[in-house]
Amino acid sequence: MMNDKPALSDTAPVIQIQGLHKAYGQVEVLKGVSMAAPRGHVISLIGSSGSGKSTLLRCCNLLENSQAGEISFEGEPVRWKGQGAARVPADRAQVMRFRTNLSMVFQQFNLWAHMTILQNVMEAPVTVLGQDRATVETRARSLLDKVGIGDKCDAWPAQLSGGQQQRAAIARALCMNPKALLFDEPTSALDPELQQEVVRVIKDLADEQRTMIIVTHDMRLAADVSDHVVFLHQGLIAEEGPPDQLFGAPRTDRLRQFLSASTH
């Protein structure tokens, strides 16, 4: 792993979450979660389905509204209005600013079917950020080369394999020049061979010391790229620490059971 990084405690967090609560009706999904993603570090969220991983990631990006707790981006807290289930962000411009700096890569790619791969990658910087189209096109082509599909610029999403589509989605996220990348199960919709194409790209991004939060069921990916792993269980952090500690010497029975089940 990248040993030249400062310790997590020495690095200002890009994303900081404190005491986050999230419920859907009577079902409490997050029960007071606190975590941070320091600049240049990779944080992996692991845990059983229903443990709250994807919900936590979506709360980071304000795609979901939490009912209590604080979320800060580069030291700036989200401003809220209302209480409990009625709590919503108070400043729409702040939400848009945060979201444009936190690019999300989804499990199901979410590429626009009516646009070519190049158009998909260019769309948000041009229409959301108002950047110069020619400048964006140069950057988009470079990023598609970077993820290994530079020859697919003029293809439609339906003409690409799942692994190629996910790499296009990563290029699209990178084209926003985000402060952090959020991955929600980036390999789980792919067969094993195609998974490796995407894992290689994520490893390259980790080597570039990009700030990332990755929700994953792939324990090998979490072990290989993470600086810090968070194990969620029933809406709480049951255990966290560096990957060699969590995977090599888990302290809790619950994590030991989870890891045993994950390898079978």
Whether residue 248 has pLDDT greater than 80: yes
Give 3's contacts (C-beta < 8 A, 6+ positions apart).
none
When computed from its CA atoms, the radius of gyration of the chain, rounded to whole angstroms, is 18
Q: Write down all domains in the chain, each with its CATH number in brackets.
A: 8-109+180-262 (3.40.50.300)
What is the rounded distance in angstroms from the CA atom of residue 185 to the CA atom of residue 215? 5
Mean pLDDT of the region 4-27: 81
Confidence (pLDDT) at 188: 87
Q: Are 240 and 196 in contact (CB under 8 A)?
A: no
| Stated pTM of the model | 0.92
Give 225's contacts (C-beta < 8 A, 6+ positions apart).
42, 44, 202, 203, 206, 212, 214
Whether residue 9 has pLDDT greater than 80: no
Mean pLDDT of the region 2-27: 78
User: What confidence tier does 5 reach under pLDDT thresholds 50, 70, 90?
Assistant: low
Confidence (pLDDT) at 264: 58
Q: 3-state class of 48 per DSSP?
A: coil
The 10s digit of each residue's pLDDT in 184-242 is 999 988 888 889 999 999 999 999 999 999 999 999 999 999 999 999 999 999 999 99
